[in-house]
């Protein structure tokens, strides 16, 4: 059994140096994420629906113009940031055993939306530059900044602080980060078939919760998130 310590009344966060691995972390987060699965699905479904609606409207109004493309990209950034903020909020609340409603999580996420938009944009630029420099640097940079959105919500910090926290905490953690990504890739393969889509969404949401657990593991009781303040 993994050596761990309890994080409030929620999940047992593995002690430093005792990360259980991607598959075991999936098992650890599952009983905490599963009861809230429909809240996660609701946020994802709502975000996708709004994005599709805006896509149709922009295509009709602006047709194949630069404005059409620009507005779609802006909408993707805004809706994607909203979804990221709310979902990560629910991940931490679920893992910590905090009671919350979907509306509470949405309110908390919205309060941090502007910071999330800035963070996602900067991360996109970092990834793009890393890719342009050659594909190889991307594989080293990506896992170092991947947890920044989680730190932003967990510590309610600035964009710069979130990036710094992710960069410093993931030093030497490539295997742990890529392990979770690996499972996410395997889950995504289920999208190949229509029958597999519901299962891919279900397992994908739960597996993404492992990133929240990894953030708690690397933070070790430094989180300042308090849903009750939302």
Q: Quote the CA–CA distance of 42 and 84 in Å, as a whole number.
A: 13
> pLDDT tens digits, residue range 112-159?
999 999 999 999 999 888 888 776 677 888 899 999 999 999 999 999
Higher-confidence residue of 225 and 66: namely 66
- The pLDDT, as a whole number, for residue 128 is 87
Q: Quote the CA–CA distance of 79 and 87 in Å, as a whole number.
A: 12
Dig out the tokens for 125 from the structure.
């630029």
Length in residues, the chain: 230
Contact 113, 81 (CB under 8 A): yes
Any residues with CB less than 8 A from the CB of 216 and at least 6 apart, and which?
Answer: 7, 11, 13, 92, 95, 154, 223
Q: Quote the CA–CA distance of 229 and 48 in Å, as a whole number.
A: 28
Which helix (H) or strand (E) covers residue 220, if one does?
none
Residue 90: pLDDT above 70? yes
3-state secondary structure 150-190: HHHHHHCCCHHHHHHHHHHHCCCCHHHHHHHHHHHHHHHHH
Distance, CA of 122 to chain centre: 16
* Averaged pLDDT of the chain: 87
> pLDDT tens digits, residue range 150-193?
999 999 999 999 999 999 999 989 899 999 999 988 888 877 77
Of the candidate ranges 5-9, 85-89, 215-219, the one whose mean pLDDT is the lowest: 5-9
Q: Which ranges in the chain belong to alpha helices (H)?
A: 22-33, 37-62, 66-96, 102-111, 113-133, 135-145, 148-155, 159-169, 174-188, 196-219
**DSSP code at position 227:** G
- The pLDDT, as a whole number, for residue 23 is 93
Which sign, positive or negative, has the C-alpha torsion 228, 84, 205, 140? negative
Sequence ranges of the domains in the chain: 22-229
């Amino acid at each position: 059994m993994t050596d761990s310590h309890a994080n409030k009344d929620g999940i047992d966060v593995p002690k430093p140096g005792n990360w259980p691995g991607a598959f075991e972390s999936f098992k650890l987060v599952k009983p905490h994420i599963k009861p809230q699965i429909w809240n996660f699905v609701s946020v994802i479904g709502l975000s996708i629906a709004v994005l599709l609606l805006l896509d149709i409207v922009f295509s009709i109004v602006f047709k194949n113009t630069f404005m059409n493309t620009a507005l779609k990209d802006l909408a993707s950034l805004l809706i994607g940031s909203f979804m990221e903020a709310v979902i990560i909020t629910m991940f931490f609340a679920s893992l910590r055993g905090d009671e919350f409603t979907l509306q509470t999580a949405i309110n908390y996420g919205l309060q941090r939306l502007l910071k999330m938009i800035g963070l996602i944009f900067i991360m996109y630029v970092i990834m793009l530059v890393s890719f342009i420099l050659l594909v190889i640097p991307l594989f080293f940079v990506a896992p170092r900044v991947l947890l920044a959105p989680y730190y932003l919500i967990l510590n309610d910090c600035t964009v710069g602080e979130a990036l710094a926290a992710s960069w410093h905490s993931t030093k030497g953690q490539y295997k742990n980060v890529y392990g979770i990504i690996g499972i996410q890739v395997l889950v995504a393969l289920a999208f190949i078939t229509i029958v597999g889509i519901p299962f891919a969404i279900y397992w994908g949401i739960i597996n993404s919760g492992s990133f929240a657990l990894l953030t708690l593991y690397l933070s070790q009781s430094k989180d300042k998130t308090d849903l009750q303040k939302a």
